[in-house]
Structure 1
Amino acid sequence: MRCFHLSLCGKALVIAGIGMVLAVSTRAQQSLADVLRSSAMVNGTMPVVDTDGLPPPPSNLEDALHSLYTSADVVFTGEVTAVERSGDTVTVRFQVLEGIRGVSDSATYVLREWAGLWVDEPSRYVVKEQRLMLLRANSACGYASPAGGVGAFPLHGDSAQGSIDLRWLAAQVSTSAQNTAQLATQAFADVAPVTPTNVAQMDRVVVISMLRAWHRMEVTQ
């Protein structure tokens, strides 16, 4: 009889332990939901979590650009003023036109890259061309790299009426070309209607304004 009583007690302890685990799991899920809701209030959109518990890939250019921006340590538009190679290093100098994060307007930014990146792309950067640069911080070797592997976008035209070529970023968006065009039109309402053939060409003023707005939100938080 005593053994039977102990067995019942053991089962009760096991059931209680399972209940505690479930409670902790529920609180963890609630905490994750609270984090996602907080993120939604900051960014103005409610992130969607897939069945694996991870955020899905960006569904439009604005989300993709914002994701790239958050992973970058230095953000600016600039004109290439010099390209120099020495041993295993290629040094690219930029005259900063619009400093957004990590560098100020009119400053000189020096980008150092491993020369191996230039073997298959000898014209990786060209003097006098302008780029929107979203860069990670320098590595231990002193080399910086574009955020997401694509954060170096060509600029066309002037600062007032020019465009930004986001085709490599658009290629990462997980939608069809038609849906991408529709979403991009909604995201950039101030830009003239776009078609699938020019969806990657975004108005320079609009994109820079978005980047600056995201930076202001960071500063005020």
Structure 2
Amino acid sequence: MQDATAQMAMLQFISSGLKRVAVPSTIHCDHLIEAQVGGAKDLARAKDLNKEVYNFLSTAGSKYGVGFWKPGSGIIHQIILENYAFPGVLLIGTDSHTPNGGGLGGLCIGVGGADAVDVMADIPWELKGRHPEGRRHIDSERRHGSQRGVFRTGRRIHFVHRNGYHLQHGSRDRGYNLGLSVQQPHEGLPHRNKPPRYRSV
């Protein structure tokens, strides 16, 4: 969860009476930092203005078993991509960029804070869906295509690009992000047969 939505989500979870979250959960303090002057000064200003919020999220997270990424740790969708997303994962997040993790072969979906509370409380997460509608992406090497495709609201998109392996990771994660930006539940691009090299480094 990002810090702007995590406040209400944590209050709702606390009111549930549960002692700990049922699934691994994290809070990321990045949304309340405003870019005005420059990195260090903006971070110091955010820490001063939002001290009470950060203290609440930190202590509530500690009490209920929720990981806490303090202000200055990085942007939530990049942290998710580098630390939590992997092929086959179902990841629910409260940031609109959560689908970036789809570039690694996971099903990563951005939801509202109340949906996140349901997941943390071990209530099954549900999604209305129809049969997948396949969309073939243009081969990025031949026609200068990338993650662009045809999206329609209310449809589930299954990325079936036969040359999906040729897309750079940046194109893959942006494609997934675009999918959810227009409210598209979606399935992952198949991963290469070999495990990703970055996991063995």
Common fold by TM > 0.5: no
| TM-score, reference length from structure 2 | 0.28
| TM-score, reference length from structure 1 | 0.27
> Over alpha carbons, which structure has the higher Rg?
1
